[in-house]
Structure 1
Amino acid sequence: MPETRTYHGQCHCGAVRYTATTDLGSLMDCNCSRCRRLGWVMQSVPAENFELLSGADKLVDYRFNTKAIQHLFCRDCGIESFARGQDREGRELVMINVNALDDAPAVDRATIMHWNGAEA
């Protein structure tokens, strides 16, 4: 089982920076029209394990489909390094883009969960 630790993430230009404490044990990708184009590798993190360090004023919100997920991207470089939403029980969570972490291990996409968002 992966080790729980605090990871550091950022957008491409570095204006948006955050930390997320997680074990990276439930990585997934999605084939919806948006995720497929972005190439996200996702990890769900309880909101209390996420801290936005800088760049709140740079974040732009984009919502589509059910409009339940707050896709937040940097207005300067355009990178979405995390999104905010709720799980099925209504708990606040942050979905981090593992590809935006500074110190994440390499990901083998053949070993992660694949969400069929195209049909959801």
Structure 2
Amino acid sequence: MSENPIEYRGSCHCGAVKFSVLAPETLRVVDCNCSVCTKKQNKHFIVPASDFKLVSGASNLKTYTFGTNNAKHTFCSECGVQSFYTPRSDSNAKAIMPHCIDKPLPLKYYVDKFDGQNWEDAIKTKVDIVTASQKQ
């Protein structure tokens, strides 16, 4: 899918953390079933880190890691909302929560299931998710 990217703007619930991201008009949303994604109902789309900009709120961000400590789950220390994070699959990418996009709306997306409970095996068949930052 080679659409021209558009600029999305988003935020956490309280508005302390704001960001912008360049992404296709039709988003490919990953629905992972690993333990943390399941608990947080964490659906996300992945973009190269160069297409992401933190507009405000750096001092409000806290980070949670577990397991391999490769994923950096950032969240707002005021409202607790995770608007984006650094995925385990690519430290040069950002995973963005589509439900934290404020504009433009409505969003167009499709969901791609990912078996994060069996990450090592699943990632072998989902190489295009891993290399999101290398596609542009």
Measured against the shorter chain, the TM-score band is: 0.7 to 0.9
Identify if the C-alpha distance between structure 1 residues 40 and 3 changes in structure 2 by more than 3 Å, giving closer, same or farther.
farther
Mean Cα deviation higher: 3-12 or 53-62: 3-12
Matched, 1:115 2:114: yes
State the AA in 2 paired with 1:11: C
Q: Which residue of 2 aligns with 1:100?
A: 100
- Between structures 1 and 2, the one with greater helix share: 2
Unpaired runs of 5+ in structure 2?
Answer: 120-136
Task: Report the Cα offset of residue 38 of structure 1.
Answer: 1.5
Deviations 1:21-69 (A, max 9, x none): 0014321111111111212221101011000000000000100121101
Given that 1:40 and 1:98 are in contact with CA atoms closer than 8 Å, whether structure 2 keeps it comes out as no
Mean Cα deviation higher: 99-108 or 59-68: 99-108
The percentage of aligned residue pairs carrying the same residue is 33
Unpaired runs of 5+ in structure 1?
Answer: none
Q: How many residues align?
A: 116
TM-score (norm 2): 0.76
Q: Which residue of 1 aligns with 2:16?
A: 15
The CA RMSD measured in Å over matched residues stands at 2.0
CA distance in 2, matches of 1:107, 1:30: 19
